[in-house]
Chains A and B, each alone.
Chain A
Amino acid sequence: MAESIVVHIEDVAFAYNGLPVLSDVSLRIVEKDFAWIVGPNGGGKTTLLKLMIGLLQPQRGQVRLLGQRPKDVRSQVGYMPQHASLDPQFPVTVLDVVLMGRLTNFRPLGRIARQDRERAEAALGEVGIAERGREQFSHLSGGQQRRVLIARAMASDPKLLLLDEPTANLDLRVEQELFELLQRLNERLTIVMVSHDPAFVSPFVKSVVCVKRHVHVHPTAEIDSEIMSELYGRPIRMVRHDQHFDREDD
């Protein structure tokens, strides 16, 4: 086998209270891929990600991660939920957040093994904020908080990272830095990322998964205005930020 398949979704359908969100979804993501899940709001991007991680069960079809059922390989998958769902005032230190990535159902007296702490600190170093472990999570800037959440996902030494809108509400510079971090991580693990914003900014993305009830996968080079207008149901124009009009009239 030349490339091993990390995410294998076959003929999956999912509906919320009878309302179909995804149907006839088949999808393969290979090792070391950097897959970007894009599509309009309500199109089923987050649902697809939650099906992958096993937070939702498909009504039809099957989902396999690393060849097994999602809940059997949880320790090999790092997950980052949407940042907006977190309480910004929660009293917790950065290191404690990362340690959650190594938590199991029962560990007597809440003790942390030295190995857990070392791994958590290494993960913080990897995302570039090693020195901030003792600070309160909510005192960090938005971009740094995302780094902490990526470190938490990395703390269990996963083979696959699933990220739900990791760059939402960040300014462009911070977003760019975060992408550079993800690109570094992508050298050794597979990344699947949901984004509401299908801008063409990231050259690191290797394949794009377009979700609007149905799923189409494209290698990044292939994306053109025809695919975009099909996805959004109306013609869309790309904004070329590198070109400018010289305004002469009015």
Chain B
Amino acid sequence: MGFFHALWQHSFLQYALLAGLLASVACGVVGTYVVARRITYIAAGIAHSVLAGMGLAHYLAVVHDLTWLHPLYGAVVAALVSAVTIGLVSLKARQREDTVIGAIWAVGMAAGILFIAATPGYQENLMSYLIGNILMVSGSEVWLLGLLDLVVVAVCFVFYRQLGAVCFDEEFARVRGLSVSAYYLLLLCLTALTVVLLVSVVGIILVIALLTIPVAVAGRFTRSLWQTMLLAVAISSLFTTIGLVVSFEPNWPAGPTIILIAGVAFIVVSLFTGNHTGRIRSSERAASRTNR
């Protein structure tokens, strides 16, 4: 097949494959918490605000000739700032939460688009930020993605039980004396870093699908958070790799291809596993009725 032949020859394809796999690791691990805690909307808000950071970094890099200033650095800063802002608002004034998320979402996009428009030269960047361009990932970006991965996975490993307890039952965790607010902010920051990782693979608009679909598919076969995480990492790796292979020959954009494959897989799995928990529950109820 053309893809595998090309994979041997071109380093850009190797980097693309690697970037997809690296992003899948954080995606499966953090995505599990995002889905369990139901903060998808927050993750989407953070993702869109990232454009402001990327746009500003790109603008400064071109206009002030700061060649070291990669858009990913801007993305990391913007994502963390948004995460902490949304987190603090949600802790202090929960009723304002979705207003603030909506504002950060749109203002981030607007600022990013203006920075890109103000930057002299080609205007192709906007589209690649929005839907990603995995084939453009460079060797140094792969290292940066690896580093982000390391941070995200290490933190999730160390605080696995605490994060799980806070997501499952915040009130009980608080009574146990856990610093619930601190863990919530930590979770949002991890989400921010994961979003940045995913933006380079599938772009800002499509991030949310890759963050949630692998977890949703995995969740139908697993019993605990860590099982969901491992399976979601595997499923996400499968999606990104297949997407890359399928999109290569017809020269489709890889990001949307990956998301469509994920979407189809989600529908198929939903249809075949059906009302999974409902079935077990009703059969169990029937069993307990006959027992007593």
List chain A positions with a Cβ less than 8 A from chain B: 53-55, 71, 74-75, 77, 79-81, 85-93, 96-97, 99-101, 103-110, 112, 134-136, 138-141, 152, 156
B175 touches A55 (CB 8 A): yes
Return the contact of A139 from the options B169, B176, B177, B277 (Cβ within 8 A): B277
User: How far does the Cβ of B36 sit from chain A's closest Cβ, in whole Å?
Assistant: 6
A110 touches B223 (CB 8 A): no
Interface status of B158 (Cβ within 8 A of chain A):
yes
User: How far does the Cβ of A248 sit from chain B's closest Cβ, in whole Å?
Assistant: 36
Interface status of B252 (Cβ within 8 A of chain A):
no
Known A103-B178, A105-B177; contact A91-B169, beta-carbon cutoff 8 A: no
Which residue in chain A gives the minimum CB-CB distance to B160?
Answer: A110
Return the contact of A103 from the options B36, B157, B176, B285 (Cβ within 8 A): B176
In chain B between 36 and 54, which residues have their CB closer than 8 angstroms to a CB of chain A? 36, 38
B224 touches A96 (CB 8 A): yes
Interface status of B128 (Cβ within 8 A of chain A):
no
Interface status of B243 (Cβ within 8 A of chain A):
no
Q: DSSP majority for the B interface?
A: helix
A91 touches B36 (CB 8 A): yes
User: How far does the Cβ of A76 sit from chain B's closest Cβ, in whole Å?
Assistant: 12
List chain B positions with a Cβ less than 8 A from chain A: 32, 36, 38, 157-162, 164-165, 167-169, 171-179, 219, 222-225, 227-228, 277, 280-281, 284-285, 288
Which residue in chain A gives the minimum CB-CB distance to B158?
Answer: A109
Which residue in chain B gives the minimum CB-CB distance to A72?
Answer: B177
Return the contact of A74 from the options B177, B179, B224, B280 (Cβ within 8 A): B177
Please indicate the chain B residues that have their CB under 8 angstroms from the CB of A81 in the complex.
169, 171-172
Rank and list the top 8 A-B pairs by shortest CB-CB distance, nearest first: A110-B160, A136-B223, A110-B161, A100-B165, A81-B171, A79-B175, A91-B228, A93-B224
A selection of 21 A-B contacts at a CB cut-off of 8 Å is A54-B175, A55-B175, A75-B177, A77-B175, A80-B172, A81-B169, A90-B167, A91-B32, A93-B224, A96-B224, A100-B161, A100-B176, A103-B165, A107-B162, A110-B158, A110-B161, A134-B223, A135-B223, A136-B223, A136-B224, A139-B280
Please indicate the chain B residues that have their CB under 8 angstroms from the CB of A89 in the complex.
219, 277
Known A90-B168, A103-B176; contact A141-B284, beta-carbon cutoff 8 A: yes
Q: How far, in whole Å, are A99 and B161 apart by their CA atoms in the complex? A: 9
B223 touches A91 (CB 8 A): yes
A109 touches B157 (CB 8 A): yes
Q: How far, in whole Å, are A189 and B177 apart by their CA atoms in the complex? A: 22
Q: How far, in whole Å, are A99 and B168 apart by their CA atoms in the complex? A: 12
Known A93-B223, A104-B177; contact A139-B162, beta-carbon cutoff 8 A: no
Please indicate the chain A residues that have their CB under 8 angstroms from the CB of B224 in the complex.
91-93, 96, 136
Return the contact of A141 from the options B159, B175, B176, B285 (Cβ within 8 A): B285
Q: How far, in whole Å, are A164 and B232 apart by their CA atoms in the complex? A: 35
A91 touches B157 (CB 8 A): no
Please indicate the chain A residues that have their CB under 8 angstroms from the CB of B219 in the complex.
89, 91
Known A108-B158, A141-B284; contact A87-B38, beta-carbon cutoff 8 A: yes
Please indicate the chain B residues that have their CB under 8 angstroms from the CB of A54 in the complex.
175
Please indicate the chain B residues that have their CB under 8 angstroms from the CB of A80 in the complex.
172
Q: How far, in whole Å, are A55 and B280 apart by their CA atoms in the complex? A: 36
